[in-house]
Chain A
Amino acid sequence: MASYKPTRIQTFPQLGEKVTQDTLYWRNYKAPVQIKEFGAVTKVDFSPLSPYNYAVTASTRIQIYGPYSQEPVRSFTRFKDTAYSGTFRSDGQLLVAGSEEALIRLFDVSGRVALREYTGHNKAVHFTDFSADRFRILSGSDDYTCRLWDIATSTELGRYGEHTDYVRCGTPSRLNPDLFITGSYDHTVKVFDVRNERSVMTMDHGQPVESVLLFPSEGLLVSAGGRYVKVWDMLKGGQVLVSLKNHHKTVTCLCMSGAGQRLLSGSLDRHVKIYSTTTYKVVHNFNYAASILSIAVAPDEESIVVGMTNGVLSVKHKKHTQDQKPAGSGSKRRPAYRVFVKGKNYMPKQDDFLVRKQEKVNLQPYDKQLKSFQVSKALDSVLKPHVRLKMPEVTVAVIQELNRRGTLRNALAGRDEKGLSILLSFLIRNIVDSRFAPILVTVAEMVLDIYMKVVGQSAVVDKQILKLQELIEKEIDYQQELMEVLGMIDTLFATITTKKESASLQSQAVNGLAEVRGEQDQRVKAT
């Protein structure tokens, strides 16, 4: 007739982080490789060409690393003071860098000595980049100006002095060689057109701007400054599209991944947040050991490089699933197709009597024992270490089932010192868990009832019973405190609500408090 219904294991909603596609994707990076640099890493830039080397600007050097090597492929050390903003040209052949000495240097990636030096800025140059046509260099400096240089002749083509504070960041347009955007500590982001003398668009970020970034489509602009990341709609004349406030310290760097699908922001609060560019919600979060100054994602997304204030460069490489696959599939050969279809395609003849084999149901060991009413054995099998430590909900479910069947006392009785100490250690571990408390309190009472006579015979058991007592006393104190807090909150709510809003506010309060109260009551019951 009806088959045996297995014990129902109650599942509880996961309170922690929800596993989404994004978390799965971002977790697919290996543990980071740490490389110690000489000073704070202020800029990381990937070469746009395969094999995607990256230039790391730290202290007075710029070092170029290969995708998997931990030793630099090349390093440029001819800086007398701190170097800034080592950036590749779009053909990956040239590298430009500013420095504290107000100089801009241009390097050949394969060479060692600077090809050109551009002088003209009065103060440190924090931002350098190439224009889209590859013939010009942009720079932004602490002398409040940004300038445009011709690469070959090292002459200054233009000077824009509209900013009223340090220019610390900028980006050229990839689609239009004449457009570039700069961000400054005067809280503004300005769009310049080389063909015009003055800026064509100004956006007020509200905070000193640390980083600006254009979307691949260049319709949207992202700026970071203070705790805010703001997205601007360029086509609507610089309207703010969305303002994100997910960091609790200054956001220092921005970068784009997956052809504009995800936006990454690094901050001094040691977090990297990943936003979806469709919803602008945080979809994932990385933690690092120190404040983050720079971040970059490889064009093929094989690695994420983060530079920090303590001079540590952290490189995360992507896991490759095919690495493990051959080992797994090779060891176990599946039976051939023949085996599966064997006898299945046999057509019964007219007088054949069909004998059906009963479908075999796979039952857990405890279910098998419960099915045959072996209660003590069922309890033993869920008190095995791998169950009681890893899946306490299974143990509790079986205990609940035994209680429902009225045979819990029989199952608990008749244990020796070892068995009892296992049971007690399980209780100590789980009795204050609000999910399990109601039933485990019953169990504890029963255990004390049954084994009252043998108290004092075993040192181990006595110790555990004392521990249990201590635990429960602590829990009672905790509950009392919680109740006091609840009383205080109630009085607060009673006093602040005005007459009109009383209904809605109180209901909300009740709504919020009901959960707390429910949990509390549970805990009180537990004690």
Chain B
Amino acid sequence: MRNRGSPRERESQRTKFTGQVDKMVASVEVRVARCGGSRINFIEPIITLDSRFLLCASGDEVHVYSTNTEERVHILQGHTDLVTGLRLNPSNHLQVYSCSLDGTVKLWDFTDALLIKTYVVRYKIFSLYVSKNHAGTVFIILPMAGNTNTESYQLVALHLPKTTGPEVEATEILSVLSDVSPIQRATSFGRGGEFIASANGVQLTVYFFRNQKTYRRVGSSTDKKGAKNRFTCVSCHPKDDCIATGHEDGKIRLWQVQLRNFNQKKEYTYSTDHWHHSAVNALHFTPEGTELLSGGVESVLVLWRYEASTKKDFVPRLGSAIDHISVSPDGSLYCTSHRDNKIVVMKSSRDIAAVIQGLVKGVYNDIRTDLLIDPRTKALVCNGKPGHLQFYSLRHDKQLYNLDIVQQEYIHESGLHQYEVTKAAIDAQGSWLATVEERQENAELDISLKLWAYDETTQSFQLNTTISMPHEGQISAMCFSSCSETTMLVTTGQDGHFKAWLLANSPNAQDEGASWSCDFVGSYHHRKPSRCCFSADGSLLAVSFTEVVTLWSLSSWELLVTFSQPPGEIRDLCFGRLSCSKYLLGTTTKNLLCCWNLLTCSLEWSSAVDVILLQPDPLSENVAAFSLTSGNVDLFVFKPSEPRPLFSQKAVCSGSVRRAVFAPREEMLDSCDESTQWLNRSQLYFLTERVELMTFCTKSEEDQIMASSKQLVIDDSVAVTPFYLLLGKHRKSQRETQDTISNQTTARMQLPQGSTTIRELLHTPAHVLPSASFLCNMFVSSLLISKSGVREDGSCREEEMESENEEEAAEQESEGEMEAGVQGPTVQGFMTELTPQLSKAQERELRKLRKTDFSWVGTLLDS
């Protein structure tokens, strides 16, 4: 074997590899970008006054969703850090304030997605409150004395200067309360903005604006029932002097606050309601104050009748723990924000109106399955809600659907051992899905392997086979055969066996159909298998047993050859593809990346890189390797045939990389640049240690996105209605043609104008579209090729005009049904043409008028 050969040779190869790395680092063509899927449940969502839109913070953006269609209408971009607060402007209900950790408060017009004003505060802002009584002032929570390190925060009133200009320095800060909790739900405005109540730990603070006094009520942390009566959230009654507080032990206390007696130590009165078994996460009064809404880990929305708290209603099984509750200003919509990155909008009749679901990153921020790509939908598949797999469209940043794997009632209780989906695999055609769920309680392990067949009629996966306890130990790896003829699944277990599962028809044909059964059980010297991998043509199976890689023939289940590169256990294993299918790549825990040649059964090359993750691209020969060096992750992309990286980037992200996946692109890029060529066919996504989904994008791609977003911005400056899409577009395209003359570079954007209209048309929900007969007219006319671009000859134009006049005369005879808008596409053209065209339109109007006038006169004369 070559690896036993001269050490010098190996050394030279290694240096070559690393030497190449240094050279390649300089490239800046490819950038790491955060892609979608940020938390939308971070702060309380708000519903606009007319209940049409829902606003929620998503990372450093604010998203505007329609409450009826769940569609995302706008994205308000501008903050450079996490958005921490959102409030409607009390003086203008079409505007919204947002605050962010970047130290700014921004005022937006959310219907047009316009940034109106930016107030620069220069401190991290953790929360934002507004009140109608305090116009021109917002209340924000800042770190104490501007010191970010301390854990204490203060509530301050920020006076917003009235100066004009897009960016204003706001310096007029007045401290209201100190030592408050930075959590948004722990502070609330009281009736009419007369007072503000804030809770922190076991202390409730109320500040009255009229006499500018602060009253504190400190509860004993050493309660006889244990110190669990810490405050978790506060909500004030909108019409009454009442503060509702939620506690860690699940109790809700209603405090009767009066300006007179709150200061006297003993005379505060409160009543207690108890339903939640664990902490109350969110509390909210309805705008009329008739009901109090509360939610917690139980994922049940409890509706308490105010003044009659024995009567309560429940909305059970909302899916996941409730983090925030908000109510629309008219009280018609309730909105709950859940821990699984979901917002549920519910009518006051408890019917679910909309569910807005973001990328679920597990309840405990933990994705245990590999990232997979569903070949049918090109969606990302990974852990979703507990016991579910989510199908997430990367392109649209939207969850497609959830597949219930465990199919059991989820008990929302902390400390329970739940079933969790730990492994998932999809075969190359997307017709089979294999999942592993496990539950470990003490020493008892409960595993089941489930196989799901794709059902064409229902367009989803249906459970085919359940195998309970496929292995005696945990399943360490699972993969489908890449060959298309036979569908085979291989699982490796901690019990020292690997098993091959085959789809077998049941012996009697009248039975319900094919199901999966075990075909082969293999082991190697009682070692524990860790990884398995099929070769590209599906004839070989590689299974790694600690330090040894074994290769098995699938036709005879014979052990063909073993490779090993001690010391160090095999960490990752993959076969090369396409032209490199004769290579097998492996990484070991002792910082070695090895490439074996399967034809000569020897080590082709090896390199001393601490690879933590190896990910082959299914569409090309490329393999991506993430390596960890001094806390930072570097990426190398290489072909197995040569130990020279095609591309490398240092310091992709801090911390570790957990998972990665190549997702095929919808349209191939045609970059010829060597460093970006590997991104032509597919895009690399990866999950960082903090469960953020990142991707690599090239410069040209970014430019394209920027260009398209610019176009979008123009489109969205006018309210997007289907009518606008049809009628307004034409008018605008006229404007654009003017631009075209002045600026030839934007010509490309104008070209697919008709097709974007159609696309918009198709994306608009059917129930908001005008009638089809109306649309058909438009549609057909939009397909007509405009002749005006070709014509340049003046005489020719005149002729055309004449003929058009004739046409019009004919049309007028046939009741004159032609509309001006329909004429649009033929009318549009060069600017020079506009004047005669307009005069013609006017002329026609006149003629129409004249005609109707005549009839009038005629009837008059007759009478």
Contact = CB atoms under 8 A, between A and B. Distances in A.
A503 interface: yes
B511 A18 contact: yes
A330 interface: no
Interface in A1-44: 1-8, 10, 18, 20-21
A5 B409 contact: yes
B558 A503 contact: yes
Contacts of B468: 10
Nearest to A522: B469
A504 B556 contact: yes
Interface in B555-569: 556-559
Interface stretch (A145-153, A155-163, A265-273, A506-514): A506-514
B523 A510 contact: yes
B794 to A, nearest CB: 56
Contacts of A1: 315-319, 344, 352
Nearest to B300: A1
B642 interface: no
Nearest to A367: B409
Contacts of A518: 469, 472
A521 interface: yes
B498 to A, nearest CB: 11
A8 B446 CA distance: 15
Contacts of B441: 403
B462 to A, nearest CB: 16
Nearest to B511: A18
A406 interface: yes
Interface residues of B, number: 37
A309 to B, nearest CB: 34
B439 interface: yes
Interface in B413-437: 413, 415-419
B523 to A, nearest CB: 7
A345 to B, nearest CB: 24
Contacts of B416: 404-406
A405 B508 contact: no
A444 to B, nearest CB: 14
Interface string B763-803: 00000000000000000000000000000000000000000
Interface in A361-403: 370-371, 401, 403
A265 B523 CA distance: 46
Contact of B317 (A3, A406, A514): A3
A510 B559 CA distance: 14
B781 to A, nearest CB: 33
A438 interface: yes
Given A404-B417, A503-B559, A514-B521, A5 B408 contact: yes
Given A4-B409, A5-B409, A507 B319 contact: no
A89 to B, nearest CB: 41
A514 B523 CA distance: 11
A522 B542 CA distance: 30
Interface string A489-527: 000000000000001100100110010001001000000
Interface residues of A, number: 29
B855 interface: no
B582 interface: no
B497 A514 contact: yes
B510 interface: yes
Contacts of B510: 20-21
B49 interface: no
A510 B495 CA distance: 13
B389 to A, nearest CB: 16
A404 B406 CA distance: 13
Contacts of A404: 408, 411, 416-419, 439
- The prevalent SS among residues of A at the interface is helix
Interface string A238-279: 000000000000000000000000000000000000000000
Contacts of B472: 518, 521
Contact of B557 (A4, A7, A370, A507): A507
Contacts of A514: 497, 521
Given A1-B315, A514-B497, A507 B469 contact: no
A438 B472 CA distance: 13
B408 to A, nearest CB: 6
B200 to A, nearest CB: 33
Nearest to B387: A5
B507 interface: yes
Contacts of B316: 1
A442 to B, nearest CB: 8
A20 B508 contact: yes
A370 B411 CA distance: 11
B407 interface: yes
B522 interface: yes
Interface centre among A18, A404, A521 (most CB of B within 10 A): A404
B508 A510 contact: no
Interface in B320-370: 344, 352
A438 B444 contact: yes
Given A1-B352, A3-B317, A518-B469, A406 B413 contact: yes
Contacts of B518: 511
B365 to A, nearest CB: 23
B317 A4 contact: yes
Contacts of A10: 468
B723 interface: no
Contacts of B444: 438, 442
B312 to A, nearest CB: 16
Contacts of A511: 518, 520-521
Interface in A423-458: 438, 442
Contacts of B344: 1
Nearest to A405: B411
Contacts of A442: 444
Contacts of B352: 1
A5 B411 contact: no
Interface string B114-137: 000000000000000000000000
A281 to B, nearest CB: 9
A521 B520 CA distance: 20
Given A4-B409, A18-B508, A510 B522 contact: yes
Contacts of B411: 404-406
Contacts of A510: 497, 521-523
28 contacts: A1-B316, A2-B319, A3-B317, A4-B317, A4-B409, A5-B409, A8-B408, A18-B511, A20-B508, A20-B510, A371-B409, A403-B441, A404-B408, A404-B411, A404-B417, A404-B418, A404-B419, A404-B439, A406-B416, A503-B558, A503-B559, A507-B521, A510-B497, A510-B521, A510-B522, A510-B523, A511-B518, A518-B469
Listed from nearest, the 3 A-B pairs whose CB atoms lie closest are A5-B409, A2-B317, A1-B317
Given A3-B317, A18-B507, A404-B411, 18 more contacts: A1-B316, A1-B352, A2-B319, A4-B409, A7-B408, A8-B407, A21-B510, A401-B408, A404-B408, A405-B411, A406-B411, A406-B417, A438-B444, A442-B444, A503-B558, A507-B522, A507-B557, A511-B520
